[in-house]
Structure 1
Protein backbone atom coordinates (compact mmCIF):
# COMPACT_ATOMS: atom_id res chain seq x y z
CA UNK A 1 0.00 0.00 0.00
CA UNK A 2 1.13 3.55 -0.69
CA UNK A 3 -0.18 7.07 -0.59
CA UNK A 4 -0.93 9.75 1.96
CA UNK A 5 -3.99 7.94 3.31
CA UNK A 6 -1.83 4.88 4.01
CA UNK A 7 0.53 6.98 6.10
CA UNK A 8 -2.32 8.29 8.25
CA UNK A 9 -3.82 4.81 8.56
CA UNK A 10 -0.51 3.56 9.98
CA UNK A 11 -0.76 6.11 12.80
CA UNK A 12 -4.41 5.59 13.70
CA UNK A 13 -3.71 3.60 16.91
CA UNK A 14 -1.92 6.64 18.32
CA UNK A 15 -4.74 9.11 17.66
CA UNK A 16 -7.66 9.70 20.04
CA UNK A 17 -8.17 13.46 19.73
CA UNK A 18 -8.01 16.29 17.22
CA UNK A 19 -4.66 16.46 15.45
CA UNK A 20 -2.65 18.50 12.96
CA UNK A 21 -1.31 16.65 9.92
CA UNK A 22 1.53 18.19 7.89
CA UNK A 23 3.26 16.60 4.92
CA UNK A 24 6.90 15.99 5.73
CA UNK A 25 8.41 17.70 2.69
CA UNK A 26 6.95 21.16 3.31
CA UNK A 27 8.67 24.38 4.32
CA UNK A 28 6.41 27.30 5.13
CA UNK A 29 5.90 30.44 7.19
CA UNK A 30 3.59 30.08 10.18
CA UNK A 31 2.07 33.53 9.72
CA UNK A 32 -1.56 32.42 10.15
CA UNK A 33 -0.95 28.84 11.23
CA UNK A 34 -3.04 29.46 14.34
CA UNK A 35 -6.16 29.57 12.13
CA UNK A 36 -5.56 25.92 11.23
CA UNK A 37 -5.04 24.98 14.87
CA UNK A 38 -8.27 26.68 15.91
CA UNK A 39 -10.51 25.33 13.10
CA UNK A 40 -11.84 21.76 13.18
CA UNK A 41 -11.75 19.78 9.94
CA UNK A 42 -9.74 22.35 8.02
CA UNK A 43 -7.45 22.18 5.01
CA UNK A 44 -4.87 24.85 4.19
CA UNK A 45 -4.43 26.08 0.62
CA UNK A 46 -1.88 28.20 -1.24
CA UNK A 47 -2.49 30.35 -4.30
CA UNK A 48 -0.34 29.34 -7.31
CA UNK A 49 0.04 30.57 -10.87
CA UNK A 50 0.12 26.97 -12.15
CA UNK A 51 -1.79 24.22 -10.34
CA UNK A 52 -0.86 21.39 -12.73
CA UNK A 53 1.89 19.99 -10.51
CA UNK A 54 -0.32 19.82 -7.43
CA UNK A 55 -4.02 19.66 -8.23
CA UNK A 56 -6.59 22.32 -7.44
CA UNK A 57 -8.74 22.97 -4.38
CA UNK A 58 -12.10 24.56 -5.17
CA UNK A 59 -13.92 26.41 -2.39
CA UNK A 60 -16.48 29.13 -1.80
CA UNK A 61 -16.97 31.30 1.28
CA UNK A 62 -14.39 29.21 3.13
CA UNK A 63 -16.22 25.94 2.45
CA UNK A 64 -14.64 23.10 0.48
CA UNK A 65 -16.37 22.25 -2.79
CA UNK A 66 -13.90 19.80 -4.32
CA UNK A 67 -10.30 18.72 -4.91
CA UNK A 68 -9.02 18.01 -8.40
CA UNK A 69 -5.88 15.87 -8.45
CA UNK A 70 -3.13 17.17 -10.76
CA UNK A 71 -5.28 18.01 -13.77
CA UNK A 72 -5.16 20.98 -16.11
CA UNK A 73 -3.11 24.15 -16.11
CA UNK A 74 -3.64 27.71 -14.99
CA UNK A 75 -3.84 29.52 -11.69
CA UNK A 76 -5.79 28.69 -8.57
CA UNK A 77 -5.47 27.35 -5.05
CA UNK A 78 -3.62 24.13 -4.28
CA UNK A 79 -3.65 21.79 -1.32
CA UNK A 80 -0.92 23.03 1.03
CA UNK A 81 -0.57 19.64 2.74
CA UNK A 82 -1.59 21.00 6.16
CA UNK A 83 -4.76 19.82 7.90
CA UNK A 84 -6.64 19.96 11.19
CA UNK A 85 -8.66 16.76 11.62
CA UNK A 86 -10.98 15.30 14.18
CA UNK A 87 -10.76 11.51 14.70
CA UNK A 88 -13.77 11.08 12.39
CA UNK A 89 -11.37 11.16 9.42
CA UNK A 90 -9.88 7.82 10.46
CA UNK A 91 -12.89 5.69 9.53
CA UNK A 92 -13.04 7.40 6.15
CA UNK A 93 -9.36 6.69 5.58
CA UNK A 94 -10.07 3.04 6.34
CA UNK A 95 -12.65 2.98 3.54
CA UNK A 96 -10.58 4.89 0.98
CA UNK A 97 -10.30 3.05 -2.35
CA UNK A 98 -7.21 2.90 -4.52
CA UNK A 99 -7.00 5.82 -6.95
CA UNK A 100 -6.24 5.73 -10.66
CA UNK A 101 -2.62 6.49 -9.77
CA UNK A 102 -2.47 3.30 -7.73
CA UNK A 103 -2.35 5.16 -4.42
CA UNK A 104 -4.62 5.67 -1.44
CA UNK A 105 -5.23 9.41 -1.48
CA UNK A 106 -5.90 11.34 1.71
CA UNK A 107 -7.74 13.92 -0.38
CA UNK A 108 -10.36 11.28 -1.23
CA UNK A 109 -11.02 10.85 2.48
CA UNK A 110 -11.18 14.63 2.90
CA UNK A 111 -13.84 14.90 0.20
CA UNK A 112 -15.80 12.09 1.82
CA UNK A 113 -15.54 13.95 5.13
CA UNK A 114 -16.87 17.06 3.43
CA UNK A 115 -20.03 15.17 2.50
CA UNK A 116 -20.63 14.36 6.18
CA UNK A 117 -19.26 17.41 7.96
CA UNK A 118 -18.25 20.85 6.80
CA UNK A 119 -14.57 21.07 5.83
CA UNK A 120 -13.20 24.59 6.08
CA UNK A 121 -10.57 25.98 3.70
CA UNK A 122 -7.93 28.38 5.00
CA UNK A 123 -5.58 30.19 2.58
CA UNK A 124 -2.05 30.37 3.97
CA UNK A 125 -0.23 33.68 4.18
CA UNK A 126 3.48 33.96 3.53
CA UNK A 127 6.06 31.62 2.05
CA UNK A 128 5.25 27.99 1.22
CA UNK A 129 7.38 25.42 -0.59
CA UNK A 130 6.73 21.77 -1.38
CA UNK A 131 10.30 20.46 -1.57
CA UNK A 132 9.69 17.82 -4.19
CA UNK A 133 12.60 18.65 -6.50
CA UNK A 134 16.21 19.69 -5.88
CA UNK A 135 15.61 23.27 -7.01
CA UNK A 136 12.84 23.56 -4.42
CA UNK A 137 15.49 22.85 -1.79
CA UNK A 138 17.63 25.67 -3.15
CA UNK A 139 14.64 28.05 -3.16
CA UNK A 140 13.79 27.21 0.47
CA UNK A 141 17.37 27.83 1.58
CA UNK A 142 17.48 31.15 -0.24
CA UNK A 143 14.26 32.17 1.53
CA UNK A 144 15.81 31.39 4.92
CA UNK A 145 18.98 33.19 3.89
CA UNK A 146 17.01 36.37 3.20
CA UNK A 147 15.52 36.13 6.69
CA UNK A 148 18.90 35.70 8.41
CA UNK A 149 20.80 38.28 6.41
CA UNK A 150 24.36 37.61 7.51
CA UNK A 151 26.00 35.28 10.01
CA UNK A 152 29.47 33.83 10.54
CA UNK A 153 30.20 30.99 12.97
CA UNK A 154 32.89 30.94 15.62
CA UNK A 155 36.50 30.12 14.71
CA UNK A 156 35.88 30.93 11.06
CA UNK A 157 38.66 32.78 9.29
CA UNK A 158 37.63 35.38 6.72
CA UNK A 159 40.55 36.67 4.71
CA UNK A 160 40.67 40.41 4.12
CA UNK A 161 40.55 39.67 0.39
CA UNK A 162 37.37 37.58 0.68
CA UNK A 163 34.29 39.12 -0.93
CA UNK A 164 31.05 38.31 0.90
CA UNK A 165 27.85 39.43 -0.80
CA UNK A 166 24.90 39.40 1.55
CA UNK A 167 22.76 37.66 2.44
CA UNK A 168 25.23 34.95 3.41
CA UNK A 169 25.63 32.41 6.18
CA UNK A 170 28.99 30.78 6.91
CA UNK A 171 29.33 28.11 9.59
CA UNK A 172 31.96 27.36 12.23
CA UNK A 173 35.62 26.49 11.70
CA UNK A 174 35.69 27.56 8.05
CA UNK A 175 38.45 29.07 5.94
CA UNK A 176 37.15 31.67 3.51
CA UNK A 177 40.17 32.77 1.52
CA UNK A 178 40.68 35.01 -1.53
CA UNK A 179 37.27 34.11 -2.99
CA UNK A 180 33.68 35.23 -3.50
CA UNK A 181 30.76 33.94 -1.44
CA UNK A 182 27.68 35.45 -3.04
CA UNK A 183 24.21 34.98 -1.47
CA UNK A 184 25.06 31.47 -0.32
CA UNK A 185 25.06 29.13 2.66
CA UNK A 186 28.33 27.47 3.67
CA UNK A 187 28.25 24.84 6.41
CA UNK A 188 30.70 24.06 9.21
CA UNK A 189 34.35 23.06 8.64
CA UNK A 190 34.37 24.17 5.00
CA UNK A 191 37.04 25.72 2.81
CA UNK A 192 36.31 28.17 0.02
CA UNK A 193 39.71 28.83 -1.46
CA UNK A 194 41.66 31.09 -3.76
CA UNK A 195 39.80 32.45 -6.80
CA UNK A 196 36.73 30.30 -6.15
CA UNK A 197 33.18 31.61 -6.52
CA UNK A 198 30.18 30.21 -4.65
CA UNK A 199 26.99 31.88 -5.84
CA UNK A 200 23.34 31.32 -4.78
CA UNK A 201 24.31 27.85 -3.57
CA UNK A 202 24.34 25.57 -0.55
CA UNK A 203 27.68 24.05 0.44
CA UNK A 204 27.18 21.61 3.30
CA UNK A 205 29.60 20.92 6.14
CA UNK A 206 33.07 19.41 5.69
CA UNK A 207 33.20 20.27 1.98
CA UNK A 208 36.03 22.00 0.16
CA UNK A 209 35.74 24.36 -2.80
CA UNK A 210 39.45 25.09 -2.65
CA UNK A 211 41.00 26.37 -5.88
CA UNK A 212 39.70 28.11 -9.00
CA UNK A 213 36.19 26.67 -8.67
CA UNK A 214 32.84 28.00 -9.86
CA UNK A 215 29.71 26.79 -8.05
CA UNK A 216 26.42 28.54 -8.86
CA UNK A 217 22.76 27.68 -8.19
CA UNK A 218 23.90 24.31 -6.88
CA UNK A 219 23.93 22.04 -3.85
CA UNK A 220 27.18 20.49 -2.64
CA UNK A 221 26.46 17.88 0.03
CA UNK A 222 28.68 17.06 3.01
CA UNK A 223 32.22 15.79 2.69
CA UNK A 224 32.88 16.81 -0.92
CA UNK A 225 36.16 17.98 -2.39
CA UNK A 226 36.29 19.77 -5.73
CA UNK A 227 39.59 19.53 -7.56
CA UNK A 228 41.30 22.68 -8.80
CA UNK A 229 39.46 24.16 -11.75
CA UNK A 230 36.25 22.18 -11.24
CA UNK A 231 33.38 24.31 -12.50
CA UNK A 232 29.61 23.90 -12.53
CA UNK A 233 27.70 25.50 -15.40
CA UNK A 234 24.34 26.97 -14.45
CA UNK A 235 23.06 28.42 -17.74
CA UNK A 236 22.21 26.76 -21.04
CA UNK A 237 23.71 28.16 -24.25
CA UNK A 238 20.21 28.75 -25.63
CA UNK A 239 18.97 30.44 -22.43
CA UNK A 240 16.10 27.97 -22.09
CA UNK A 241 15.00 26.56 -18.75
CA UNK A 242 17.29 23.93 -17.30
CA UNK A 243 15.81 20.44 -17.16
CA UNK A 244 16.73 17.67 -14.75
CA UNK A 245 16.23 13.90 -14.95
CA UNK A 246 13.86 12.78 -12.19
CA UNK A 247 12.85 9.10 -12.08
CA UNK A 248 13.64 8.68 -15.77
CA UNK A 249 11.72 11.76 -16.90
CA UNK A 250 13.13 15.12 -17.98
CA UNK A 251 11.51 17.74 -15.74
CA UNK A 252 11.52 21.45 -16.52
CA UNK A 253 12.86 23.25 -13.45
CA UNK A 254 11.26 26.54 -14.49
CA UNK A 255 14.66 28.15 -13.91
CA UNK A 256 17.04 29.60 -16.48
CA UNK A 257 19.84 29.17 -13.98
CA UNK A 258 20.35 25.85 -12.24
CA UNK A 259 23.68 24.16 -11.60
CA UNK A 260 24.37 20.68 -10.23
CA UNK A 261 23.21 18.60 -7.28
CA UNK A 262 26.28 16.88 -5.85
CA UNK A 263 25.84 14.06 -3.33
CA UNK A 264 27.81 13.21 -0.20
CA UNK A 265 31.56 12.52 -0.26
CA UNK A 266 32.04 13.26 -3.96
CA UNK A 267 35.54 14.04 -5.21
CA UNK A 268 36.47 15.60 -8.53
CA UNK A 269 39.84 15.78 -10.22
CA UNK A 270 41.27 18.94 -11.72
CA UNK A 271 39.38 20.79 -14.44
CA UNK A 272 36.17 18.76 -14.23
CA UNK A 273 33.17 20.51 -15.81
CA UNK A 274 29.54 19.78 -14.94
CA UNK A 275 26.63 20.69 -17.21
CA UNK A 276 23.56 22.52 -15.87
CA UNK A 277 21.04 20.23 -14.17
CA UNK A 278 23.24 17.17 -13.64
CA UNK A 279 23.12 15.08 -10.46
CA UNK A 280 26.16 13.33 -9.00
CA UNK A 281 25.51 10.33 -6.74
CA UNK A 282 27.10 10.14 -3.31
CA UNK A 283 30.57 8.64 -3.14
CA UNK A 284 31.47 9.24 -6.80
CA UNK A 285 35.05 10.06 -7.75
CA UNK A 286 35.26 11.89 -11.07
CA UNK A 287 38.54 11.75 -12.95
CA UNK A 288 40.43 14.86 -14.05
CA UNK A 289 39.40 16.76 -17.18
CA UNK A 290 36.03 15.00 -17.45
CA UNK A 291 33.05 16.79 -19.01
CA UNK A 292 29.92 15.59 -17.21
CA UNK A 293 26.85 15.99 -19.41
CA UNK A 294 24.55 13.47 -17.70
CA UNK A 295 23.83 12.17 -14.22
CA UNK A 296 26.38 9.89 -12.60
Structure 2
Protein backbone atom coordinates (compact mmCIF):
# COMPACT_ATOMS: atom_id res chain seq x y z
CA UNK A 1 0.00 0.00 0.00
CA UNK A 2 2.99 2.36 0.09
CA UNK A 3 5.02 1.54 -3.04
CA UNK A 4 5.27 3.96 -5.93
CA UNK A 5 2.91 1.86 -8.04
CA UNK A 6 0.41 1.73 -5.16
CA UNK A 7 0.36 5.50 -4.77
CA UNK A 8 0.91 7.12 -8.15
CA UNK A 9 -0.15 7.14 -11.79
CA UNK A 10 3.18 7.89 -13.43
CA UNK A 11 1.53 9.19 -16.60
CA UNK A 12 1.15 12.54 -14.85
CA UNK A 13 4.70 13.65 -14.07
CA UNK A 14 7.96 14.44 -15.86
CA UNK A 15 9.61 12.30 -13.17
CA UNK A 16 7.99 9.08 -14.42
CA UNK A 17 11.11 7.36 -15.75
CA UNK A 18 13.07 8.40 -12.68
CA UNK A 19 10.47 7.10 -10.25
CA UNK A 20 10.26 3.77 -12.06
CA UNK A 21 13.77 3.09 -10.76
CA UNK A 22 12.57 2.81 -7.15
CA UNK A 23 10.20 0.67 -5.12
CA UNK A 24 9.30 3.16 -2.39
CA UNK A 25 8.76 6.85 -3.11
CA UNK A 26 10.98 8.12 -0.32
CA UNK A 27 13.93 6.41 -2.02
CA UNK A 28 13.61 9.04 -4.76
CA UNK A 29 14.05 12.06 -2.45
CA UNK A 30 17.84 12.12 -2.54
CA UNK A 31 18.06 12.46 -6.33
CA UNK A 32 15.44 15.10 -7.12
CA UNK A 33 18.02 17.86 -7.62
CA UNK A 34 20.03 15.79 -10.08
CA UNK A 35 16.82 14.82 -11.88
CA UNK A 36 15.83 18.45 -12.42
CA UNK A 37 19.29 19.39 -13.64
CA UNK A 38 19.12 16.53 -16.13
CA UNK A 39 15.59 17.25 -17.33
CA UNK A 40 15.83 21.02 -17.60
CA UNK A 41 18.03 21.33 -20.68
CA UNK A 42 15.91 18.73 -22.54
CA UNK A 43 12.53 20.42 -22.11
CA UNK A 44 12.48 22.16 -25.47
CA UNK A 45 11.20 25.46 -26.80
CA UNK A 46 8.00 25.50 -24.74
CA UNK A 47 10.08 26.14 -21.63
CA UNK A 48 12.18 29.21 -20.93
CA UNK A 49 15.21 29.20 -18.66
CA UNK A 50 14.30 32.40 -16.84
CA UNK A 51 17.50 32.32 -14.83
CA UNK A 52 20.21 29.68 -14.44
CA UNK A 53 18.69 26.25 -13.72
CA UNK A 54 15.13 27.59 -13.46
CA UNK A 55 12.85 26.43 -16.28
CA UNK A 56 9.31 27.81 -16.60
CA UNK A 57 6.77 26.75 -19.21
CA UNK A 58 5.58 29.62 -21.40
CA UNK A 59 1.96 29.05 -20.34
CA UNK A 60 2.75 29.17 -16.62
CA UNK A 61 2.00 32.28 -14.58
CA UNK A 62 4.58 33.40 -12.04
CA UNK A 63 3.49 36.41 -10.00
CA UNK A 64 6.02 39.23 -9.51
CA UNK A 65 6.64 38.63 -5.80
CA UNK A 66 7.19 34.87 -6.10
CA UNK A 67 10.72 33.52 -5.62
CA UNK A 68 12.01 30.68 -7.79
CA UNK A 69 15.16 29.11 -6.41
CA UNK A 70 17.37 26.87 -8.50
CA UNK A 71 17.00 24.25 -9.65
CA UNK A 72 13.32 24.05 -10.39
CA UNK A 73 10.87 23.32 -13.19
CA UNK A 74 7.43 24.93 -13.41
CA UNK A 75 5.04 23.10 -15.74
CA UNK A 76 2.33 24.18 -18.20
CA UNK A 77 -0.60 26.30 -16.98
CA UNK A 78 0.71 26.31 -13.44
CA UNK A 79 0.26 29.36 -11.20
CA UNK A 80 2.94 30.43 -8.75
CA UNK A 81 1.19 33.13 -6.78
CA UNK A 82 2.29 36.17 -4.77
CA UNK A 83 4.73 35.47 -1.99
CA UNK A 84 5.40 31.85 -2.94
CA UNK A 85 8.89 30.74 -1.94
CA UNK A 86 10.34 27.90 -3.98
CA UNK A 87 13.63 27.35 -2.17
CA UNK A 88 14.87 25.07 -4.94
CA UNK A 89 14.84 21.43 -5.98
CA UNK A 90 11.17 21.54 -6.94
CA UNK A 91 9.66 19.73 -9.93
CA UNK A 92 6.18 21.20 -10.33
CA UNK A 93 3.89 19.63 -12.91
CA UNK A 94 1.16 20.94 -15.18
CA UNK A 95 -1.97 22.77 -13.99
CA UNK A 96 -0.70 23.14 -10.44
CA UNK A 97 -1.25 25.93 -7.92
CA UNK A 98 1.57 27.11 -5.67
CA UNK A 99 -0.21 29.71 -3.60
CA UNK A 100 0.54 32.69 -1.43
CA UNK A 101 3.10 32.14 1.31
CA UNK A 102 3.66 28.54 0.19
CA UNK A 103 7.18 27.14 0.57
CA UNK A 104 8.47 24.22 -1.50
CA UNK A 105 11.76 22.43 -0.98
CA UNK A 106 13.01 19.14 -2.45
CA UNK A 107 9.65 18.06 -3.83
CA UNK A 108 7.89 16.50 -6.79
CA UNK A 109 4.40 17.78 -7.47
CA UNK A 110 2.50 15.71 -10.02
CA UNK A 111 0.08 17.42 -12.43
CA UNK A 112 -2.98 19.19 -11.00
CA UNK A 113 -1.58 19.42 -7.46
CA UNK A 114 -2.87 22.32 -5.38
CA UNK A 115 -0.98 23.87 -2.47
CA UNK A 116 -2.94 27.13 -2.49
CA UNK A 117 -2.49 28.86 0.89
CA UNK A 118 0.21 28.94 3.57
CA UNK A 119 1.55 25.44 3.03
CA UNK A 120 5.03 24.13 3.76
CA UNK A 121 5.93 21.13 1.60
CA UNK A 122 9.42 19.75 2.12
CA UNK A 123 11.07 16.47 1.13
CA UNK A 124 7.76 15.16 -0.15
CA UNK A 125 6.00 13.82 -3.24
CA UNK A 126 2.43 14.89 -3.95
CA UNK A 127 0.40 12.75 -6.36
CA UNK A 128 -1.93 13.61 -9.22
CA UNK A 129 -4.82 15.87 -8.20
CA UNK A 130 -3.77 15.89 -4.56
CA UNK A 131 -4.77 18.97 -2.57
CA UNK A 132 -3.51 20.50 0.66
CA UNK A 133 -5.95 22.72 2.51
CA UNK A 134 -4.98 26.13 3.84
CA UNK A 135 -2.27 25.98 6.48
CA UNK A 136 -1.59 22.25 6.16
CA UNK A 137 2.08 21.32 6.23
CA UNK A 138 4.53 18.47 5.93
CA UNK A 139 6.87 18.21 8.90
CA UNK A 140 10.06 16.76 7.44
CA UNK A 141 12.48 16.36 10.38
CA UNK A 142 11.86 14.52 13.64
CA UNK A 143 12.26 16.48 16.88
CA UNK A 144 15.04 14.12 17.99
CA UNK A 145 16.73 14.44 14.55
CA UNK A 146 16.85 10.64 14.18
CA UNK A 147 16.31 8.81 10.90
CA UNK A 148 12.70 8.58 9.82
CA UNK A 149 10.78 5.32 10.20
CA UNK A 150 7.53 4.62 8.34
CA UNK A 151 5.03 3.07 10.75
CA UNK A 152 2.31 0.80 9.39
CA UNK A 153 0.62 -0.71 12.41
CA UNK A 154 3.20 -2.95 14.04
CA UNK A 155 5.41 -2.85 10.94
CA UNK A 156 8.32 -0.42 10.98
CA UNK A 157 10.15 0.42 7.76
CA UNK A 158 13.60 1.94 8.14
CA UNK A 159 14.09 4.65 5.50
CA UNK A 160 17.70 5.53 6.27
CA UNK A 161 17.01 9.23 5.71
CA UNK A 162 16.74 12.17 8.09
CA UNK A 163 14.49 14.45 6.03
CA UNK A 164 11.23 12.95 4.84
CA UNK A 165 7.93 14.79 4.92
CA UNK A 166 4.93 13.07 3.35
CA UNK A 167 4.02 10.93 0.38
CA UNK A 168 0.51 11.82 -0.77
CA UNK A 169 -1.07 9.44 -3.26
CA UNK A 170 -3.22 10.50 -6.19
CA UNK A 171 -6.45 12.36 -5.33
CA UNK A 172 -5.59 12.80 -1.65
CA UNK A 173 -7.44 15.61 0.15
CA UNK A 174 -5.78 17.14 3.22
CA UNK A 175 -7.90 19.39 5.44
CA UNK A 176 -6.95 22.84 6.63
CA UNK A 177 -4.22 23.17 9.29
CA UNK A 178 -3.41 19.46 9.28
CA UNK A 179 0.16 18.38 10.04
CA UNK A 180 1.74 15.40 8.31
CA UNK A 181 4.49 14.16 10.61
CA UNK A 182 7.79 12.86 9.20
CA UNK A 183 7.29 9.58 7.36
CA UNK A 184 3.58 9.99 6.64
CA UNK A 185 2.23 8.02 3.66
CA UNK A 186 -1.36 8.58 2.54
CA UNK A 187 -2.91 6.19 0.02
CA UNK A 188 -4.87 7.15 -3.07
CA UNK A 189 -8.30 8.76 -2.74
CA UNK A 190 -7.99 9.27 1.01
CA UNK A 191 -9.03 12.27 3.10
CA UNK A 192 -7.53 13.87 6.18
CA UNK A 193 -9.74 15.84 8.58
CA UNK A 194 -8.85 19.49 9.24
CA UNK A 195 -6.50 20.17 12.19
CA UNK A 196 -5.39 16.52 12.26
CA UNK A 197 -1.93 15.37 13.35
CA UNK A 198 -1.14 12.50 10.99
CA UNK A 199 1.59 9.90 11.22
CA UNK A 200 2.31 6.53 9.66
CA UNK A 201 0.46 4.91 6.78
CA UNK A 202 -3.11 5.81 5.88
CA UNK A 203 -4.57 3.17 3.51
CA UNK A 204 -6.15 4.05 0.18
CA UNK A 205 -9.83 5.06 0.11
CA UNK A 206 -9.80 5.97 3.79
CA UNK A 207 -10.60 8.90 6.06
CA UNK A 208 -8.24 9.96 8.86
CA UNK A 209 -10.26 11.59 11.65
CA UNK A 210 -9.01 14.06 14.24
CA UNK A 211 -8.47 11.41 16.92
CA UNK A 212 -6.38 9.23 14.60
CA UNK A 213 -9.25 6.90 13.83
CA UNK A 214 -9.12 5.56 10.26
CA UNK A 215 -12.34 4.63 8.51
CA UNK A 216 -12.48 2.95 5.11
CA UNK A 217 -14.87 4.80 2.82
CA UNK A 218 -16.60 1.50 1.97
CA UNK A 219 -17.71 1.21 5.61
CA UNK A 220 -19.62 4.50 5.58
Same fold (TM over 0.5): yes
Indicate the residue corresponding to 1:142 in structure 2: 33
- Tell me, in whole angstroms, the C-alpha distance in 2 between the residues paired with 1:247 and 1:144: 33
Q: Distance in 1 between matches of 2:154 and 2:36?
A: 32
Rg (Cα) greater in structure:
1
Deviation at 1:294, TM superposition (A): 2.3
- TM-score of the pair, normalised by structure 2: 0.72
Match among 58, 61, 78 for residue 174 of structure 1: 78
How many residues of Structure 1 are paired with residues of Structure 2 in the alignment?
Answer: 172
Query: Matched residues in 2 for 1:211 and 1:185: separation?
Result: 19
Q: Distance in 2 between matches of 1:245 and 1:291?
A: 14
Give the root-mean-square deviation of aligned CA atoms: 2.2
- Partners of 1:253 and 1:130 in 2: CA distance: 16
Distance 1:278 1:196 in 2: 20
* 1:150 CA displacement: 2.2
Partner of 2:135: 229
Shift of 1:269: 1.4
Residues 91-106 of structure 1: pairs in structure 2 closer than 5 A:
none
| Gap change, CA 1:26 and 1:180, over 3 Å in 2 | closer
Q: 1:216 aligns with which of 122, 125, 133?
A: 122
Would you say the 8 A contact 1:26–1:131 is kept in 2? Answer: no
Alignment equivalent of 1:283, drawn from 173, 181, 189: 189
1:254 Cα deviation from its structure 2 partner: 1.8
When residues 174 and 26 of structure 1 are mapped into structure 2, their CA distance, relative to the original with a 3 A threshold, is: closer
Equivalent residue for 1:264, pick from 163, 167, 170? 170
Match of 1:202 among 108, 117, 129: 108
With normalisation by structure 1, the TM-score equals 0.54
Moved over 6 A (4+): none
Distance across 1 between alignment mates of 2:142 and 2:33: 22
2: distance between equivalents of 1:166 and 1:204? 19
Q: RCO greater where, 1 or 2, for CA within 8 Å and sep 6 or more?
A: 2
Which residue of 2 is the match for residue 153 of structure 1? 57
Distance 1:286 1:247, change over 3 A: closer
